[in-house]
Each structure stands twice: as structure tokens, then as C-alpha cells.
Structure 1
Amino acid sequence: MKTTASMRSLASRSRKSIVTGVSVRYGRVYEKVQEFETWFPTICRKYGLLQTVSVKKEYARDDYIKHLQMKGKPKEGRSRSQSITSRVTNATVIDDKETATTGSTERTNILEDDTILLTVVYDNSERFIEIDLIKLDDVPRELIKLIGFIAKFYHTLKKIKVQFCTINDYTVYELSKLICLSTLCEVDLDGSALATGNYGILFDSGRLNSISLSKCCINDVVVEEIARKLCFGGIAESNLYTLNLSTNRITDVGAKYLSIALRTNRTLRYLNLADNRITDEGACSILDVFKEFQLTSEEIVQKSQRYMTYERQRLAIYYKYLATYTNRNDDENSKDRSSDRRKSMAARRSSKSQKSSPKSFTLEDYKNKAECLAGEMMGPFRDPYQSNLLSVRDSKYYCIGNMALCFLNLSFNNLAYPSVQRLLNVLQYQRDSKRLGQTGLIRVIIRGNNLPISCVEYAKIDDLLTKCMMSLGGKAFSERRKSRASRISVMPEKMLLLPR
């Protein structure tokens, strides 16, 4: 790389070079920017990246096309997309007909050893949505830094993949900075193991909606750090919806850390723990969170502290606005009194007769107005242990359980028959206790474990999950699922995958 001054000059001049104009759509002004695959190789060459960068353009297939191909009926017409490769070494454009598989890890080895292949993915509306770096022996820190300098101009960019690559702490650090500078909300590091396990820095931005860390050699220590940031009030608690930790080294200890986070997390919807080292003990600790559980004394104290903090902030805003209104009212009254002294008695009488006297605001009116403003700014008190979610029995507090998580994958672990029984109890409890707006578990995968070939619980579990999905889909969805044949056609994979 060149000097730091050259990198800073890129940040100052990139806007003039990338932005080519503006466009107006739906009453909003959008900046027209150069195509990433055309502009990025020029930046890498200009600012001295040691490796040669090759950028390839692909198109993402939507779910409808994927569904047709799974059924063996490829879509006619545009089933293949044109991939465009821009090389730094020359200005030629290579056109190659290729299947646009954004998730595939297979790459044609037609590049030199020092060439970095970077794939950019567009959707069917020609919007730049994804950057892929796959199977690289080294991901230079400068490459991620250069992407970060210009990624802020591409407002449709949502995802970055760094799969099966050799990365280090500096790479992850630059990725965390890239997340803060751009509109990225999904990060996929599958197969990119980090020796120090410092993946927690990715959660610190608080902006990500999806993180995939499959095949990253994650152990219980790393899971403890991740779970701490997923607890209520944690950095990643309010925005993270999907978390993939499959094919790692998580044991029952790590599963218990995640169960503690799920006691208070009401945002996470998808959790994948497949192919780990979890036994019945760890699985039951997670499943127990989805039904009624007793609050510990520490959780009761923390809930009270959160409510007191909320009230202090609300009252501070209330008194601030109340003082502003009363001072303003006093100033207006003093001005009126001074002006009235200057007027003669006749002028005051004529002004009173011509103008209707405005309504005078009392102190109670100002209090109500300050109360409304404080409520609007703070919003309602949000807590996983709100009073409407708690019940008291024998002077002990019980919470209704986590009804937010919808998808749970525990396949290919070391589960046995007790986990099946616990799962059935959880689903029965959620069926009887769910309230309006709560979903609960709608898909659970437990195949590949040490489970019996057949038992009564399988049919009951499958029936409960099917009814839950039908209730979410409405009348039209339930009519399509009357027969088994129609159910399979609508849902090609059963809600509960039974053991082999």
C-alpha cells in the first residue's frame, strides 16, 4: 500500500470520482454512482494494492427460480446470467456464460496465484447487494479498507461473504469498521476460522441483522462472549435476527450461555446449533427457556434497576420541558405587563374590545404537555419481564417464556429421547399460552441424533408444528394443507425432520 496520506486522499476525492449525477424516484433524490466492478479495480491499482484484483459480476437467483430448479424444472429464458470479469492488469472485459450461484463455493481456477477474485452480486432489479470473497489464502487488510472507503456510496449493499478464507484479527477489525461505514446488515464468515476467536467485535456495531459463523472452530469461551452481547441491553440484542453457529465445538456449557441470553432476548428469530457437541443437558437448558420459568433474585433486581433508570430519564426530560414552558410563560407575561404600562387606559380598552382574549394556560396544562413530550421521547417501558408477562405464585415470579424465537436447529448433536420429550412439553405449553402477536417455535430440526426410530412423540410434535404454521398462514394456507399430498407440495421439507 501507499502512504496513509494517499488513503486519506482517496476518502476526500472518492465522492467526486464515483458520483456521476443524481436521479429522482418517488420524490426522493438518489445519487448515481459508477458500477462497483468497473471502479474498484481502478482504485486498487491507483492506491498500490500488491495483489491483482479481479472483479466478477453475477446475478442472484430469487427463491422462485431456486424452487423450480429443485423440482427439476429450470426456468426458460434467463436461467443463466452473464458474469463480467474486470482485471486490473488490462481494460478488457471478459464475457462468460455462467450459472449465477451466489452461495456456491466452487470457483474455476483460471487466475494467477497472486490474483484476488472478488465477486459482486446484483439482484434482478440491477441493484448491487452483495460482495463475495471465497477460498482466498489471504484476505489483505488493505483490501477490506479500500472496500470500506467506497462502500458508503452504494446504499443497496446489504451483505458481505468471506467464506473459507484465511483471516486474522486485523481482517475482522476492518470488517467491523466497514459495517459502521456502510449499509451492510449481513456478514457470512463460514469456514473462515480465526485463531484467537475474536468474533465478538462484529457484534459491537449493533447494526447487523444476520451473522453466520459456521465451521469457524468456535468454542464455549467465544460463545460466552457472544451470548453476553445478546442479552437484553447488550450491543447486538436489538437488531440481530439470525445467528448461525453450526459445525463448531460448542458443548453443553456454551448451550447454557445461550439459554441465559434467550431468557431476556426477544429479537432473535433464528438459531442454528447443528453439528456441535450438545447433549440432552444443554438442549434441555435451551428448551426450558421457551416455556414458563422462574425468575432468579438477580433478574428481579436487574428488572427493577432497568425500570428505575427508565423513570429517572423520563422525569429528567419531563422537568426539563416543564421548566422551559414555565420560563417562556413568565417571559411573555413580563413583556405583556411592560407593554401595558406604556399604553394608555383608552388604548387598552380598545384593544380588549377588538381582540378576543386568548385562553390562559395554567400550570396543569404545562405539566400535561411536558408529560406527553417525555412519553413520546422515551416511549413505553420495554422489558422482557414486564408485568403483563409475569405471574406470581407463592411469592415467586414466573415469566411466560421466550415466544420470539421461531427456528431452532439442533440436528447432528448428541441428543437422546429425553430431549424429544422436553420438546413436546414445550410445544404443548406454547400452544396453550401463546398470546396475540406471539409466534413461538414453528420449526425445529433434530435429525441426526441418537433418537429412537419411531415413537408417539414424533407425530404429536409434527402435528403441533403444522398447526402453528397453519395458524400463521391463515385460512387460505390451511385449506392448501388439508391433504398430505398438498402439504408436501407446499412445504417440500417437513417441519420436523425425523431421525434416520
Structure 2
Amino acid sequence: MDIMDKEKVSVLEESVATAHRPLPDDFRSYLPWACNQLELEYAVFVNKIHQSEHYDMGISDRSKARTRSRARTVRSRADGMSDRTDDMKTGTTQQVNFVDEAINIFAVHDSNGDLVQVIFYKNKHIPRIVIKVIGLIIKFHPQLNTVQFDQGADLYTIYEFEKILPLSNITEVCFDGTFIPDGNYDILLDHELLRNLSLSRCKIEDEIIHNIAVKLVYPKPASKSLAILNLSSNRITNDGAKSLAFALRSNRCLIYLNLSGNKLTDDGAASILDSLQEFCLTPEEILASKTRYCSFYLKRNKLIVKKIKELKESDSDKSSARKKLTRSVPPSVRRKTRTDREVSLHSVHEMLPGNIIGSDSNLFDRAATMVQMAFGVYIDPFSSNNTIVKDEALYCLGNNSLLCLNLAYNDLSYIFVRKLLGILLYQKQADRKPRGLINVSIEGNNLPVACEEYRLIESIIESGIQRNLPINKKRQQSKIISR
């Protein structure tokens, strides 16, 4: 075979390979193909499954049995992800294949055929190159919002996955049952992206919890986005609970915290509850709050000054254009136009109070309105709306954003029950929006079977739920009870 024939064969082979190359929007075919092209030592096998249309990621079917249970039960989307994995194990959702000695991945598609969830299922090891390839094609899957790792991940997996987050629309990440000795989960919270992070059964200890809690302190990025944090069935003690309690002093985004199945006692659980009621601000917190306040208004005023200059230039350009137009109009028509304009301005004067048209205050008001619409109003957990002065000290009214707290199967006693009742009474009396705790789970602890505090806690929580329901649902609920 001469050189010309070899070149023709090479071109033909290249064209055949290109013809059979899958497109990056075909996740199931492209990922194994790309990993094979990169000579990955492990085969990659992707199962494509369809999302059940009736499957509710937020609330279980069991919670729909009774109206009262439906009002009281709030489950995390991480729990829903775990249920989905259980369905795959039993094959109840649909038929899936599992290949030994391969990287097994489930690609979940919705009814429109869009990829919405990726699950790494029971892998011994997930190579970095697999995550890198996903990062290269992530832009072709804008509907992907959930990723779950079920074993096989390591610190490099998290490191590479963290790079993907800013490029994607992923808001939910689950590492349930995935033990990573280095525990660098906290780097996932370096962005204002995640809404749900589940780290159940990961053998997490206090040092890792401290690193996570630091990322949840306001105004860190994750403190403005993460709403659900599942830390159940780990090795968290009172020290870890205190780190989370410190974050809750300023965090006003987290609404669901699961600490069930850990090693908390009354002391650690009480530290979390203390952040939910009135507490004295430390000098460091006061200084940080004032710094944020000054920084906000400094940026705002700079933008207003810049916007005033832009408005002046714009008005000047319009005035110049108007003069040129006036010169080109005949005198008789010019007098008529001036008269019409005077009438128009006269009507505007009557509509606006203060007769401020064309003045510097008008420019300032216009600029300030435009900046406020773009910049927003000042919001801070320790602003004047959330603090009071008492005994010559500054107190915060407490965290009222945490709605669901799961402390089941720890080492709590009757002391905690009384503490919880006091917190609920305080939040009820404060009558803020949101109200505060509306779901607390304390089963599996060393608690009395029955006591008066239980009845009062049930009553307060029930009233809080009724208060948060829309008016039409309140009326419907009252009709059911009256019957």
C-alpha cells in the first residue's frame, strides 16, 4: 500500500470515527465514549432512567395520610434522593443494569427528556477524569440540578466537582454513605449556589463540622443560599453543635437542620436553641455589623454619584438635540411649539409636589431610585430591625428562620424538653415572620413517655403552622376540625 492509499485509509477511518462520535448533549453515550478516548482504565456504564411524574421529592406519601401529619411533616429533598436510590436497589422504579468493575452512573431524565439528576452508584473509586469530562459538557445540560455520590468519592472528587458548580445549575448535592477521611466537603460552600447539602452517614466529626459552619456564617456566600443541611448519623458531639450554633446566630437562610443519630447531649442541643432566642451580641459581631453597614452605604452612594453624572450627561445631550431641532423649525411654528411645551410643563408641575422638575434634588431622587432598584435595600441579621438595646447592651432578637430541627436519637433528657418549650414560648410571644420552629423531632432520646410540656409544645407548634397557612387553607382546615 503506497503513501496515497494510507492517507485515504486514515481519512476514511477519521470520518467513520467522527460519524460515530456521540454529541455532548447525549450524556449516556458521550461520557463513556469520552472516557474511552482518554484511555481510562475503568469502563464507564451509564443507565438512563426516567423520573416518575408522580414522585414528590419533598414530601413522602406517608405524610399525606392525615391532615395533621401533612402540616407537621417537612422532609428534605436529600431524603427524597435517598429514597430514589433505594428504589433502584430493589428495581421498583424501573429495570436498571449494574456492571461490576465499572463506573456505574444513573442518568435521570424528566418527562421532557432533559437530564435532571446524576447518581454515582456503589462505585469503589470515581476517577478524577470522569468528573472533568462532566465539567466539559455540563453546559449542554442546563436542567441538571441534582448530583448524588453513593460511595467511591474522595477529596479529589470533591475538588473537581467544586469547579463544576459555578458552571452549572446544580443546587442539590448528596454524599450520603460516602466516607472521605479528609472531609473537604466545606469547599462546596464557597459559592452562593447550593440549596441542599446532604452528608448523612459520612462519619463526620467535629473538626469537619467546624469547617462547614464557618462557611455558613453571614455574609459568606453559602449563608445566603443553603436552605437544607442533613448531617444525620455521624459522629458530631457538643463541640460540633456549638460551631453550628454560632453560625445560626447570623445565618438567616438555613431552614432545615438534621442532626439526628449523633452524640449530642442537652448542652450541645441547648446551644443551638440559644441562637433562636434573644442573645447578647459580642463586640466582634457589633463591629462586623457596623462595617457591613458602612460598606453597603459607601457603595450605594458611589453608585448614586455615578448615576447622577450619567443622568446629567444624558439630559445635556437631549437639551443639545432639542436646540438643534428648534433652530431648524420656522419662527411661526417655533412659537407654537414653545407654547405647547409650556402648557405641558404646567400640567407636570401640578402633578408633582414641590415643583422640583429640573432641580438637583430631582436628579438625586432619580438616581437614588434607580440605584435602589438595582442595589436593593440594606439587609443584615444584626440591623436595627433585628436588635434591641437592653441594660446598655445590644441584643439580637434571635434566629427565626430555622423552621425544622431534627435531634432524634441523640442523648437528650427532660432538661432539653423544658428548654425547647421556653424557646417556643419566646418565638410565639415575639410574633415575627417567619415564626420560627414549626417542626422538631426528638424521638429516640431518653425522654419521659408523657408530660405536660409535650402538650404545650404540640399546641404552640400547631398554632404556628396555622398562622403560616394561607387564608383559604386556614378556613378549609377549620371546617375539617369542626366536623
For the criterion TM > 0.5, the same-fold answer is yes
Instruction: Report the Cα offset of residue 101 of structure 1.
Output: 4.2
Name the structure 1 match of 2:404: 407
1:156 to 109, 120, 143: 143
Which amino acid in the other structure matches residue 405 of structure 2? L
Deviations 1:175-230 (A, max 9, x none): 11222222111000011111111111111122111000111122222112211111
Q: Is the 8 A contact 1:152 1:183 kept in 2?
A: no
Name the structure 2 match of 1:46: 37
Matches within 5 A, 1:113-192: 113-163=100-150, 165-192=151-178
**Is it true that 1:206 corresponds to 2:192 in the alignment?**
yes
Name the structure 2 match of 1:233: 219
Deviations 1:64-117 (A, max 9, x none): 699668999xxxxxxxxxxxxxxxxxxxxxxxxxxx944457379975542121
Name the structure 1 match of 2:454: 458
> More relative contact order in 1 or in 2 (CA 8 Å, sep 6+)?
2
Q: Distance in 2 between matches of 1:249 and 1:332?
A: 68
Q: Distance in 1 between matches of 2:113 and 2:454?
A: 45
Name the structure 2 match of 1:370: 367
SS at match of 1:413: coil
Q: Is the 8 A contact 2:35 2:129 kept in 1?
A: no
Matches within 5 A, 1:262-411: 262-329=248-315, 351-356=334-339, 357=341, 361-411=358-408
SS at match of 1:206: coil
SS at match of 2:221: coil
Which amino acid in the other structure matches residue 482 of structure 1? I
Aligned residues: 424
Identity %: 33
Q: Distance in 1 between matches of 2:210 and 2:155?
A: 19
Q: Distance in 1 between matches of 2:226 and 2:206?
A: 20
| Structure with the larger strand share | 1
Residues 41/428 of structure 1: CA separation in 2 closer, same or farther (3 Å cut):
same
Matches within 5 A, 1:25-104: 33-34=25-26, 36-61=27-52, 62-63=54-55, 101-104=84-87
Q: Distance in 2 between matches of 1:38 and 1:480?
A: 55
- Normalised TM-score (structure 2): 0.79
Name the structure 2 match of 1:18: 23
- Normalised TM-score (structure 1): 0.77
Instruction: Report the Cα offset of residue 332 of structure 1.
Output: 6.0
Instruction: Report the Cα offset of residue 407 of structure 1.
Output: 0.7
Q: Distance in 2 between matches of 1:178 and 1:237?
A: 20
Q: Distance in 1 between matches of 2:129 and 2:176?
A: 21
Residues 216/392 of structure 1: CA separation in 2 closer, same or farther (3 Å cut):
same
Q: Is the 8 A contact 2:45 2:99 kept in 1?
A: no
SS at match of 1:415: coil
Q: Is the 8 A contact 1:470 1:477 kept in 2?
A: no
2:89 to 99, 102, 106: 106
Q: Is the 8 A contact 1:206 1:235 kept in 2?
A: yes
Which amino acid in the other structure matches residue 400 of structure 2? M
Deviations 1:359-386 (A, max 9, x none): 5722222121111122222211011122
Residues 69/429 of structure 1: CA separation in 2 closer, same or farther (3 Å cut):
closer
Q: Distance in 2 between matches of 1:43 and 1:458?
A: 58
Q: Distance in 2 between matches of 1:282 and 1:477?
A: 40
| Structure with the larger helix share | 2
Residues 101/288 of structure 1: CA separation in 2 closer, same or farther (3 Å cut):
closer
SS at match of 2:481: coil
Name the structure 2 match of 1:468: 464
Which amino acid in the other structure matches residue 185 of structure 2? Y
Which amino acid in the other structure matches residue 176 of structure 1? E
Residues 274/407 of structure 1: CA separation in 2 closer, same or farther (3 Å cut):
same
Name the structure 2 match of 1:86: none
Which amino acid in the other structure matches residue 311 of structure 1? Y
Q: Distance in 2 between matches of 1:480 and 1:118?
A: 49
Which amino acid in the other structure matches residue 33 of structure 2? T
Could you tell me which runs of 5 or more consecutive residues in structure 2 were left unpaired when the two chains were aligned: 1-17, 66-82, 346-356
Instruction: Report the Cα offset of residue 402 of structure 1.
Output: 1.2
SS at match of 2:137: helix
Which amino acid in the other structure matches residue 441 of structure 2? I
Residues 336/442 of structure 1: CA separation in 2 closer, same or farther (3 Å cut):
closer
Which amino acid in the other structure matches residue 89 of structure 2? E
Which amino acid in the other structure matches residue 160 of structure 1? V
Q: Is the 8 A contact 1:176 1:205 kept in 2?
A: no
